Structure 1
């Protein structure tokens, strides 16, 4: 496989510089500034390999207009020819997957966004064995004997390990940092293992790193992001004696394999069909490859499809994989605001092969995969347009900012206030067609949590208070905001916990928006506007659930929610970690138990996941697995140290 060297920013800088042309007299570069134009999100496929290479090289030149005004020329060239100094869930596909079986051998699953669509996580169980990968250590624990029956240590240069559990196989996905001479690159790998012995049965590797994956009906669907391998361009960019003609020549000398990721199956190199390479009107050179692998093997027939675009967020349904890419650009003048949008690509899976089946764009950015939902033939998308891009990419020197430097001759334009929007698209066989939208939610705020339940959206925005918006989506052409509940604090994760009940996990805050500790709010959603029924507050603490929904456990049979928690005390000197068990009643939420592990270290990561197996509540940390009685006094029953 080809080594992938450049980061996204360095790759984009190279592509920007590739668009420079010399003036007729051989003097300063002649640069034509072209305003940023939103992408059409309509992908086209190349007719062959020659056309693909030519098209990619042409796109490299076209990208110059977006980047040249930002001063990202790594070799020091500026547009004026002067060298710069370096450093210048719900019904249908959105049901929450809440276990309901009351049998003693029932066990919990990963907290997935969509029923029937499994998501990768650091722990899986089949009700007898617990498979976990923590700090590069893969372990199989027999919960009946309390023994670690198999383990494998992954290289310290590997990271982001996650698991899927099939019928007779364990799938481990990870990214490895590799070096070939002076070249450094990333390589994504998925191993199919015997779950008992951890022997490797199959291995698939591809240049890049995983964006995300889903498993549906024994099929793993993956999206892998990769960067171009253009070392000669990199050399020119950092060569003080090189000129723009050298740079153009380096770009022209690139080959298709420098842009398209390579892959291998069990050590045998594969090749992506040039006709399976798609591209939008504008792209930077990064690529995302979408493909499917059968959990039970037979990977030699894999047919990856590559899109010349970045990918940030994945949302999966039983038939589709949605890939979202956040895109931004600048106006031609220094005092204009940045533009932003999110491009959406839908891939329909049939017999293990993805087919591009629709594209669209929405304004602003997504929070996470919960900002997307497919229901009753429609895709619903929640986004925020705000000035966060200004802070990151504009230097943080807007009218409301204290600039860290002086002497700016041009003041940036005052950014438009942030707002949030819900957009609905009809999902056709080959198209996403907008049917309606509602906007101006949470003006001056941004989205902190989203949950789509059947034909209703619940959206939390926050700046100082937490409006919980209720949006009626029953008529896709006429969306309506029916409720705006304002309370202090915010919810960072929303989870249905019964008919007309919604649990929000987040932070309490003062009237000025200063957070004060963990808050769990129970909402009644029976009426057009939600109402607060009860709240649980834990001062000076937080939970990973706020940013990682996989850390959340809801066990319907016992009526409990379990959250990993870190307490830091009033003066940040009394750290401790554990898990809080919340009893969820019809109108109440109360603490049922506080669980700390036997080998608890207050300064460690603490409890990472919780799961139910039979009548036991298990907690997982880097130190080990612990079981406690499910219910009653939640007494500890076992400790399996790692």
Structure 2
């Protein structure tokens, strides 16, 4: 594989400032501005490697020239291609209704969005052994003896480790930071291990990092994001004396290897077929590659398919993998124009382990996460928020965002035009063999607000929007051509995760808030969804607390056999003093939700060693932290029964 430079470019430009190293001779690059083209999801494939290289170079130069015109980098090219003076710069700136609950009589599994589609997580179990990977330590624990029977330490330069458990293998996926000839780059790796010894049986590696993966019937389906090698191009982008001709020359000096990720299987290099490279109308150089690997090995015949786009959201069904690519109209906010954005959706259908592009669509705005997508009864339903997510990039804060700055602008810097009030929309598409065709939509949900949680259950959608209060919208999707909002329940606070807990019952995990929208602590709400409008049956409140379930659904456990929901919780205390972590066990009745137990582990540092997952194995409730595994009685007094320290 060829080394890829690991770049960290400001704002959304990090998605693409790509490029760099080598064919000989001059290339006449087209640098016409790339206009904002709504609904630009249609992909096209290249006819060969020469056509692919030329197309990628042209697209990259056009997009980078727009970034420079918009002054997103240290220098900026004026419309005539002449570099601006430094002084100029200082003045600018299936069905998701059936999640995995008690999928087995004896042990719990990952909280997956779609039944039959496993998602990677930091812990897996077969009902006897618990496999976990935390702080770069992979361990196999025998729950019968309470012993760590195998362990493996991953390099400190590796990160984002996640697991799949097959019939006779353990799969570990992670990203490594690497250096080659003074170039730094990221490399995605998946190891197939013997679960008994943790010995490596097979290794697949690809430039980039994993977006997400799914395991279906013994087949791992992956999406890997990659950035091209860009060092010479990056030098030009940050050179205040450079002009447009310098940028064109730097991009022209690249070859196809610099743009398309390389890969290897057990150390043998491979390359993506040029005919398996596709692209939308407008792109900038980043790529996402889709491929399948058999869980039981035989990876030499892998055939990756690359799309010249970025993606940070994956939704999987038993037959398909959907990629969501967020696209923003760079420069559209200048001169008082409203920012524009859309999400492009690409459906890949898997047959015999190989992905085939089987439909594309576009929706206005952005997705919250994979729960914003649902395939059911031959239709794909998509929930998006327009405008507020775009405005958030300029300084707002979404439900899971960290406000790294206060949203202000430097003296003399021109703020982008404020967009129209945000709104949310549900759009429905018919899923055909080769196409996604829009059939209907309903919009104007949560005007001035944005989506905080979505759950599709059969032909109904439940959508939480929030700004100061929490409307829980009920949307009837039984007629795909005419979605209808049937309910709008308003309560204080919001739910960040929604989970079905029985017939006509929905549990919401989030935050209580004042009438002004100031959050005050963990709130778990039980909703009755039997009527066209949901109703609150009961609520659990824990002051000055939150739960990782709000942004990480894998942290949620619902065990139907016992009628309990289990959530990791951090109690911050007033003024963030006296922090404590543990799990709250909630008894979920027909119309009540109340605390059944509070379980803590003895940890030295609750900030880094708090409980991250809970699971049921052998009639016990297990809690996992970086410090160890603890078991408690399942029911009764939930007394501690074992401790396995790491």
- Scaled by the length of structure 1, the TM-score of the pair is 0.92
Moved more, 528-537 or 18-27: 18-27
Give 1:500's aligned residue. Answer: 504
Structure 1 counterpart SS, 2:234: helix
Deviations along 1:229-261, one digit per CA (max 9) or x if unpaired, are: 133323444556655433322211211111100
C-alpha distance in 2, partners of 1:439/1:468? Answer: 15
| Contact 2:289–2:305, Cα closer than 8 Å, also in 1 | yes
Q: 1:20 to 1:311 in 2, by over 3 A?
A: closer
Asked if the contact 2:34–2:282 (Cα under 8 Å) also holds between the matched residues in 1, the reply is no
Q: CA deviation at 1:56?
A: 1.0
1:92-131 Cα shifts (integer Å, max 9, x gaps): 9966697999999610000000000000000000000000
For residue 67 of structure 1, report the CA deviation from its aligned partner. Answer: 2.1
Structure 1 residue 228: Cα displacement:
1.1
**Deviation of 1:74 (Å):** 4.3
Partner SS for 2:524: strand
Q: More deviation in 104-113 or 41-50? A: 104-113
Q: CA deviation at 1:12?
A: 8.7
Instruction: Classify 1:487/1:217 alpha carbon distance in 2 versus 1 (closer, same or farther; 3 Å).
Output: same
Structure 2 residue aligned with 1:343: 344
For residue 461 of structure 1, what is the aligned residue in structure 2?
465
Structure-2 residue corresponding to 1:640: 644
Go from structure 1 to structure 2 and tell me whether the alpha carbon gap of 1:373 and 1:332 turns closer, same or farther (over 3 Å shift).
Answer: closer
SS in structure 2 of the partner of residue 87 of structure 1 = helix
Check conservation: 2:38, 2:342, Cα contact below 8 A. yes
2:521 equivalent to 1:517 = yes
Q: Deviations for 1:571-629, whole angstroms, at most 9, x for unmatched residues?
A: 32121000000000011001000000133643334000000012100000000000000
Structure 1 residue 332: Cα displacement: 5.3
List per-residue Cα deviations over 1:439-465 (Å, max 9, x = no partner): 000000000000000000000000111
Are the equivalent residues in 2 in contact too, given 1:615–1:629 (CA < 8 A)?
yes
Stretch of structure 1 that moved more, 101-110 or 337-346? 101-110
Residue 434 of structure 1: CA displacement?
Answer: 0.1
The answer on whether the counterparts of 1:372 and 1:380 sit within 8 Å (CA) in structure 2 is: yes
Question: How has the CA–CA distance of structure 1 residues 435 and 401 changed in structure 2, closer, same or farther, with 3 Å as cutoff?
Answer: closer
Q: Secondary structure at the match of 1:322?
A: strand
Residues 307, 181 of structure 1: CA spacing in aligned structure 2 closer, same or farther, 3 A cutoff? Answer: same
Provide Cα deviations, 1:60-87, integer angstroms capped at 9, x if missing partner.
2332464233213445544466755779
* In structure 1, distance between residues paired with 2:624 and 2:63: 47
Secondary structure class of the residue paired with 2:51: helix
Q: CA contact under 8 A between 2:73 and 2:238: conserved in structure 1? A: no
Distance between the aligned counterparts of 1:426 and 1:66, measured in 2? Answer: 36
Matched position secondary structure for 1:68: helix
SS at match of 1:98: coil
SS of 1:246's equivalent in the other structure is helix
Are 2:400 and 2:551, in contact at CA under 8 Å, matched by a contact in 1?
Answer: no
In 1, the alpha carbon distance for the partners of 2:567 and 2:516 equals 27
Change (3 A) 1:332 1:221: closer
Q: CA deviation at 1:389?
A: 2.1
Q: Is the 8 A contact 2:557 2:567 kept in 1?
A: yes
CA contact (8 A) 1:379 1:424 kept: yes
Q: In the alignment, which residue of structure 1 is the partner of 2:386?
A: 385
Question: CA, structure 1 residues 45+143, in 2 after alignment: closer, same or farther (shift >3 Å)?
Answer: same
CA contact (8 A) 2:278 2:307 kept: yes
Partner of 1:428: 432
Instruction: Report if the CA contact (8 A) 1:100-1:555 is conserved.
Output: no
Are the counterparts in 2 of residues 467 and 484 from structure 1 also a CA contact under 8 Å? yes
Shift of 1:139: 0.4
Cα pair 1:18 1:248 within 8 Å, conserved:
no
Question: 26-35 or 468-477, which moves further after superposition?
Answer: 26-35
Quick check: 1:21–1:29 contact (8 Å CA) kept in 2? no
- Partner SS, residue 22 of structure 1: coil
Structure 2: state its 5+ residue gaps: none
CA contact (8 A) 2:68 2:76 kept: no
Task: Decide whether aligned partners of structure 1 residues 26 and 396 sit closer, same or farther in structure 2, where only a CA change above 3 A counts.
Answer: farther
How far 1:297 sits from its partner (Å)? 0.2
Query: Contact conserved, 1:12 with 1:285, CA < 8 A, in 2?
Result: no
Q: Is the 8 A contact 1:20 1:30 kept in 2?
A: no
Paired residues of 1:16 and 1:65 also in contact (CA < 8 A): no
Query: Is contact 1:98–1:555 with CA below 8 Å preserved after alignment?
Result: no
Distance 1:398 1:351 in 2: 40
Moved more, 445-454 or 17-26: 17-26
Q: Measure the CA separation in 2 of the matches of 1:452 and 1:93.
A: 41
Give 1:89 deviation, angstroms: 50
- Residue matched to 1:473: 477
- CA change 1:11–1:410 in 2 (3 A) is closer
Contact 2:101 2:558 in 1 (8 A): no
Asked if the contact 2:603–2:609 (Cα under 8 Å) also holds between the matched residues in 1, the reply is: no
Alignment partners' CA distance in 1, 2:226 and 2:176: 13
Counterpart-to-counterpart distance in 1, 2:562 and 2:406: 61
How far did residue 404 of structure 1 move?
14
Conserved 8 A contact 2:94-2:114? yes
SS of corresponding position for 2:499: strand
Structure 1 Cα separation of the partners of residues 492 and 419 of structure 2: 26
> Does 1:303 pair with 2:303?
yes
Task: Give 3-state SS (helix, strand or coil) of 2:86's partner.
Answer: coil
**Other structure's SS at 1:8 match:** coil
CA distance in 2, matches of 1:285, 1:102: 44
More divergent stretch after superposition (196-205 vs 84-93): 84-93
Q: What displacement does 1:474 show?
A: 0.2
In the alignment, structure 1 segments of 5+ residues that lack a partner are none
